[in-house]
Amino acid sequence: MAAVTLLSTRGLCRNFGGLQAVQNVDFDLPQGEIRALIGPNGAGKTTFVSMLCGRIAASSGTVSFQGRDVTALPAHRRISLGMAYTFQITSIFENLTVFENVALAVQHRLGRAGKQLKTAVMETLTRVGLEGRAEQVAGDLAYGHQRLLEIAMGLGQEPKLLILDEPTQGLSDAEIKAFIALIREVSATTTVLLIEHNISVVMALADSITVLNFGEIIAQGTPDEIHANKAVQAAYLGG
């Protein structure tokens, strides 16, 4: 049986003045896959993902999610349809506790549900290893723990698609190992798209990899295929 396409783009472009940051990208993400998006700095990865989740408007082209054209929908409407994303720069509520940050995300799904809400928040914090920091003020967390908190906020929405932009940045080796295990677990019920510079993480996690360079897709395939691709080696991996 053919895989169901969860997310797709056709002819997606974004211009900033005279700079074409993303150029005519056709992209398909099957449901249930872990897809990595890689490429050199300035390749257009974050711009592309920002158009997927509605933070940046496309200059032209379309974005479809679950078979629905969402190109004109704002970010909060896409979230309500089942997209969740974390940013390259952490986006947490620094003056709230860790618990309160995740509760805001869970509330969006459950509403004000008292004990049920508390249980869901603590289960989510346990998944990312932050259950012991629930009452800590989020702004006092180490940077790596803030990254994990942001992932917890995404998971708290129980999304159909989880988009992660540089999720392992600032994590220790032990935290990266735990992150890999977490994403493998998450992928049983959630499609994952991650931008990641740590190639060992990409190779350990990704079912397939899309490579961007100068705003265009230059390659797509399995980790082994991408590792052996001469164009990718020249543009990004070296060798």
Return the residue matching tokens 């897709």: 217
Please say whether the beta carbons of 196 and 36 come within 8 A.
yes
Partner residues linked to 85 by β-bridges:
163
Q: Which residue has the tokens 């080696």?
A: 233
From the options 3.10.20.30, 3.30.70.3270, 2.40.30.10, 3.40.50.300, give the CATH code of 1-82+160-239.
3.40.50.300
What pLDDT is stored for residue 144 in this prediction?
85
User: Does the model's pTM come out above 0.85?
Assistant: yes
Q: What is the reported pLDDT for 26? A: 97
How do residues 127-179 score in pLDDT, each as one tens digit?
999 999 999 999 999 988 998 899 899 999 889 999 998 888 888 899 899 89
Residue 113 or residue 122, greater confidence: 122
Cβ contact 198:183 at 8 Å = no
Extents of the domains making up the chain: 1-82+160-239, 93-158
- Tell me the average pLDDT of the chain: 90
Confidence of residue 121 (pLDDT cuts 50, 70, 90): very high
